[in-house]
């Protein structure tokens, strides 16, 4: 009986010693507090903080912590991966905490998503214990930008085809997938500020696509890569010359399958250079008459209306301008005309009645429907014909012959009448 009691007592002592020894073992734990920024961006740095916790009742001696970064992570050059913490006393469960901080760089080619970051620790000569934590990596600014828009030709004539080239660029540090661009040639909504509300109306875009659809797509767009989408279009024949806003919509996905949509507008110019035909309509001058009027006709044969048309006749040695040398004609619509009249004095000898031609330099200034300015100098030839060639001399001869004929007829009439009276008296 005594032997049994001694055995039981001995076992109790052993169990108490074992329990006491277990309670005296340090209980270290590492917890990821945070990383800033969250998520981290490719090609950037982030600060990561870990909590080293002693949950045991015994002190943890010679504690060493070491960060073990692997791709896509690396330590800043000024950072030391190994941190000697020393002894970590026990103050009760979760009451003794040490925080370690590291500055970590993310590789530019890092894949978006959760990437593992390793850290390990040990006590004295014990083996290393490794922990692994997920760090969220994501492009901070997932942007596909519209770099440029080119219209060939730059000014599109009504009824004429054109090509529009739109360049997109991936400004992010990661791949963008399923990038699409919609060149919307439908009806666009335009808002005009009003006194109290926004008035929206539909503005018809006078373009139609040629040979292809208005939406195009590329499967993959790498970081920094550019792509050009080309669209063949044609302007309506009755398109009004002005600038038209064309809506664009860009859609794409990042590597985390997050979708993005960007709306923008580009401007296309409809118009053409005005086609003004200028000629001398009529004149009262001839080779014998030095002073007279010249009427000049301006005809707009183009698609585009002309605005602020001004004509100025310049002086030369061949003539002097008697009237005002400048005439403001204003607007000249397509398929319409205006006239300007100038009075000039031709410098020539009166003895010289031969036919000649003088040059009239005419300077014109105007704007088209898109307010583009134009300035031209037109050389007009004014031919001074003789009155005979103009039919003015023949008219005088006919009048002279008519008068002479009338006089002869009258003389014959009076002669016969007088002769008849004389005969009756006899």
Regarding the domain delimited by 276-390, which CATH topology (the fold level of the hierarchy) does it fall under? Answer: Immunoglobulin-like (2.60.40)
pLDDT for 361 beyond 90: yes
Predicted pLDDT at 189 = 45
Do residues 229 and 214 lie in contact, with contact meaning Cβ atoms separated by under 8 Å? no
Predicted pLDDT at 399 = 59
Predicted pLDDT at 317 = 87
Most confidently modeled range among 13-17, 43-47, 88-92: 43-47
pLDDT tens digits for range 196-224: 344 344 457 899 998 878 899 999 999 88
Predicted pLDDT at 190 = 42
Angle at 376 between CA 370 and CA 377, to 5 degrees: 165
Most confidently modeled range among 61-65, 172-176, 337-341, 405-409: 337-341
Question: What is the spatial distance between Cα 312 and Cα 316, in angstroms, rounded to a whole number?
Answer: 13
What 3-state DSSP class applies to 264?
strand
Based on the number of CB atoms within 10 Å of its own CB, is 140 exposed (0-12), middle (13-18) or buried (19 or more)? middle
309 - beta bridge partners?
330
pLDDT for 276 beyond 80: yes
Instruction: Tell whether the torsion through CA atoms of 235, 237, 241 and 245 is positive or negative.
Output: negative
The rounded Cα 204 to chain-centroid distance in angstroms is 20
pLDDT for 313 beyond 60: yes
Hunting for tokens 């039981």 — which residue is that? 8
Question: What is the spatial distance between Cα 347 and Cα 359, in angstroms, rounded to a whole number?
Answer: 12
Instruction: Output helix, strand, coil percentages for the chain, rounded to the nearest 5.
Output: 15, 55, 30
Predicted pLDDT at 271 = 87
- pLDDT average, residue stretch 111-130: 88
Asked if CATH classification 2.60.40.10 holds for the domain at 25-137, the reply, yes or no, is yes
pLDDT tens digits for range 43-60: 889 999 998 888 777 788
Return the structure tokens found at 344.
């000039």
Identify the CATH number of the domain defined by range 144-270. 2.60.40.10
């Amino acid at each position: 009986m005594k032997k049994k009691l001694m055995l039981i007592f001995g076992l109790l002592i052993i169990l108490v010693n074992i329990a006491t020894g277990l309670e005296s073992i340090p209980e270290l734990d590492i917890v990821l507090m945070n990383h800033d920024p969250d998520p981290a961006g490719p090609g950037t740095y982030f600060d990561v903080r870990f909590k080293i916790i002693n949950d045991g009742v015994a002190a943890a001696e010679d504690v060493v912590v070491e960060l073990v970064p692997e791709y896509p992570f690396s330590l800043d050059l000024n950072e030391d991966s190994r941190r000697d913490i020393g002894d970590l006393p026990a103050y009760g469960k979760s009451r003794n905490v040490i925080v370690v901080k590291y500055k970590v760089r993310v590789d530019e080619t890092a894949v978006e998503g959760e990437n593992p970051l390793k850290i390990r620790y040990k006590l004295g000569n014990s083996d290393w214990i490794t922990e692994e934590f997920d760090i969220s990596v994501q492009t901070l600014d997932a942007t596909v930008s519209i770099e440029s828009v080119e219209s060939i030709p730059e000014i599109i004539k009504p009824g004429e085809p054109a090509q529009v080239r739109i360049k997109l660029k991936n400004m992010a540090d990661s791949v963008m997938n399923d990038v699409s661009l919609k060149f919307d040639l439908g009806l666009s909504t335009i808002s005009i500020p009003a006194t109290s509300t926004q008035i929206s109306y539909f503005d018809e875009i006078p373009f139609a696509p040629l040979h292809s659809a208005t939406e195009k797509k590329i499967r993959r767009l790498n970081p920094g890569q550019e792509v050009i989408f080309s669209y063949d279009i044609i302007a309506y024949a009755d398109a009004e010359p002005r600038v038209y806003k064309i809506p664009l919509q860009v859609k794409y996905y990042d590597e985390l399958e997050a979708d993005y949509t960007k709306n923008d507008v580009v401007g296309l110019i409809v118009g053409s250079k005005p086609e003004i035909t200028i000629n001398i309509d009529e004149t009262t001058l001839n080779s014998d008459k030095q002073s007279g009027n010249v009427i000049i006709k301006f005809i707009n044969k183009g698609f585009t209306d002309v605005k602020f048309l001004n004509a100025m006749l310049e002086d030369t040695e061949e003539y002097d301008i008697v009237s005002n040398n400048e005439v403001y004609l204003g607007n000249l619509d397509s398929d319409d005309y205006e006239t300007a009249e100038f009075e000039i004095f031709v410098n020539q000898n009166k003895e010289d009645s031969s036919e000649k031609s003088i040059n009239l330099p005419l300077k014109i200034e105007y704007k088209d429907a898109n307010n583009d300015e134009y300035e031209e100098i037109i050389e007009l030839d004014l031919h001074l014909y003789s009155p005979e060639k103009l039919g003015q001399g023949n008219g005088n001869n006919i009048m002279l012959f008519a008068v002479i004929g009338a006089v002869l007829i009258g003389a014959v009439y009076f002669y016969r009448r007088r002769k008849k009276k004389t005969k009756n008296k006899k």
